[in-house]
Structure 1
Amino acid sequence: MQAYRHCGRCVSRGLFQGRTDFLHSEANMAAIRRAAACLSVLRGATTAICSQRKSARQLLRTPPVSVTDAVTFSVGSALCSVPFIEQVENLSHESLIRRASCLVTDSANTYLSQTTLALVDALTLYTKGLHTLIALQKRYLNSIGKLTPAEEDSIWQVIIGQRVEVSDRLDECKRFESNWMNAISICELSAEAAYNSGAEHASVALKTSLEVAQSKVEEMRKLQAAAEKSLAETKAEEIQRMAEYASSINLHDLEDIPEAYLRED
């Protein structure tokens, strides 16, 4: 740009002089030569700028694959230049014991949940069996003296079968309760070990599971106790009703005996 302004000044200076004087002056001839050189420089600069614009347009038309490759290469180069810091895991004895105690609490929690579910299901079935037996015995008590011997025998067969089922359910409850008590002991020891090793969160979580399991079992035991109490009351009522029925039968038999047989000799 400076050369362009300089050439402009040279040309403008020559235009203000006469045409003949300007051509015959050596200074004017030198100015013409400088102006021609400046125009040549300007033409070369213009050609270079145009070629650069053409190259830029060609670059913009580059296929997406080349751009992707360039980006991938740049990202890879950046990753190679970043130093990776490897974090060494803590493998001390305390850390390993803490991890092992957490695994023990998880296993103990699983064992507790399975045994609790089995015991609760067994207690539920046992309680339902008790209520069924109570209903059968009450039905029999309400029909004492109204049934034929065959009907009474069939009802007693059903009652005896229900009593056998209730006894089997009770044995199942005792078996699952033994496993559940073992799970309780294991969970208590695991919670204590986890707390001593520094895994307080695992210890607290296991103690919470213990409380939930014990509350569920305790709730089912209350229902079981209520059903057993009702069954005992039904049996007491059955004994009383049978005694009354037997006395009424004996009294009726005495009334049927002729008076002559009741007199003293």
Structure 2
Amino acid sequence: MQAFRNCGVCASGSLLKGRTDFLVARRNMAVLRRTAACVQLLKDKANVFCSSPVHQRLLRLPEVARSNAVAFSVGSTLCAVPFTQVENLSHESLIRRASCLVTDSANTYLSQTTLALVDALTQYAKALHTLIALQKRYITSIGKLTPAEEDSIWQVIIGQRVEVSDRLEECKRFESNWINAIHICELSAEAAYNSGAEHACTATKTNLQVAQSKVEEIRKISKEAQKKLAETKAEEIQRMAEYASSIDINDLEDIPEAYLRED
């Protein structure tokens, strides 16, 4: 473009001088030489543009893009700008896309609630195992502890029972959110199937199966811990009864025989 402007300036100035002083041969020859130089410069610029990578890429555009190209004339060169036609979206396609977005959000909600519930159930199972260990330690030490030691152990056991109760409440709260996520995913999968988005429906059903299997697995672990705790409590009750009966027998043996005879 710069060369084109320079050429235009040179040609206009030279032609003007040629009109006023066209009888001067030397000046006319100078004008012709300058004009020829400008034409040669324009031809060189055009050759460089045609051999450039941009021009080669434009030549290799698909036929559809070439048909949609709009040509602009700038000086003595052409610039091709491709324009693609936007497909008209129907109501069915818009509903299908919206259903895919709903399934994506439902899957995110399900994954977050599943992770929270699995973590809560894991912490609840750990708290149960800790309480079981404390209960067994107390059972083995029945009758061997001083009142102060027994009181300190019971304080720890009571604190652990409070933690178990808190963990259980947390599990119930996250389980409520998880059940809501399950229902939302089921509805979104059905909506995706009805709208024609079978891939989104299949992916959501797969995520449902994975989430349910993970939660069921960790539930089994917590139920086993609950069962062991119940067995430990039953063992503690039995051990306390045996210890109480042994204390009563010993007390009776320590009483003198004279106090046991009837008058």
| TM-score bracket relative to the smaller structure | 0.7 to 0.9
Assess if the C-alpha contact under 8 Å between 2:49 and 2:55 holds in 1: no
Q: How does 1:1-265 map to 2 (within 5 A)?
A: 68-72=48-52, 75=55, 82-84=66-68, 86-265=84-263
How many Å apart are 1:90 and its aligned residue?
3.5
Q: Give the number of the structure whose residues are more often helix, by fraction.
A: 1
Bigger CA radius of gyration: 1
How many Å apart are 1:78 and its aligned residue?
5.4
Identical residues among aligned pairs (%): 78
Aligned residues: 203
Q: Deviations over 1:105-157 (max 9, x none)?
A: 00000000000000000000000000000000001101111111111111111
Q: CA separation in 2, counterparts of 1:232 and 1:115?
A: 29
Q: CA separation in 2, counterparts of 1:82 and 1:253?
A: 109
How many Å apart are 1:86 and its aligned residue?
3.0
**Distance of aligned partners of 1:138 and 1:72 in 2 relative to their CA distance in 1, 3 Å threshold:** same
Q: CA separation in 2, counterparts of 1:111 and 1:127?
A: 24
Q: CA separation in 2, counterparts of 1:254 and 1:74?
A: 111
Q: CA separation in 2, counterparts of 1:123 and 1:131?
A: 12
How many Å apart are 1:83 and its aligned residue?
2.4
Q: CA separation in 2, counterparts of 1:182 and 1:78?
A: 55
Assess if the C-alpha contact under 8 Å between 2:50 and 2:56 holds in 1: no
**Distance of aligned partners of 1:198 and 1:241 in 2 relative to their CA distance in 1, 3 Å threshold:** same
SS of 2:143 mapped into structure 1: coil
* Unmatched 5+ stretches in structure 1: 1-61
**Distance of aligned partners of 1:106 and 1:248 in 2 relative to their CA distance in 1, 3 Å threshold:** same
Q: CA separation in 1, counterparts of 2:54 and 2:186?
A: 58
Q: CA separation in 2, counterparts of 1:165 and 1:73?
A: 71
Runs of 4+ residues deviating >4 angstroms: 65-70, 76-81
Code of the residue aligned with 2:151 in structure 1: it is D
**Distance of aligned partners of 1:77 and 1:133 in 2 relative to their CA distance in 1, 3 Å threshold:** closer
Q: CA separation in 2, counterparts of 1:253 and 1:193?
A: 76
Q: CA separation in 1, counterparts of 2:209 and 2:150?
A: 48
**Distance of aligned partners of 1:179 and 1:74 in 2 relative to their CA distance in 1, 3 Å threshold:** closer
Q: CA separation in 2, counterparts of 1:236 and 1:155?
A: 18
Q: CA separation in 2, counterparts of 1:114 and 1:75?
A: 52
How many Å apart are 1:169 and its aligned residue?
0.2
Q: How much is the aligned-residue C-alpha RMSD, in angstroms? A: 2.5
Q: CA separation in 1, counterparts of 2:179 and 2:248?
A: 53
Q: CA separation in 2, counterparts of 1:82 and 1:226?
A: 71
How many Å apart are 1:89 and its aligned residue?
1.9
SS of 1:88 mapped into structure 2: coil
SS of 2:67 mapped into structure 1: coil
Question: Normalising by structure 1, what TM-score?
Answer: 0.72
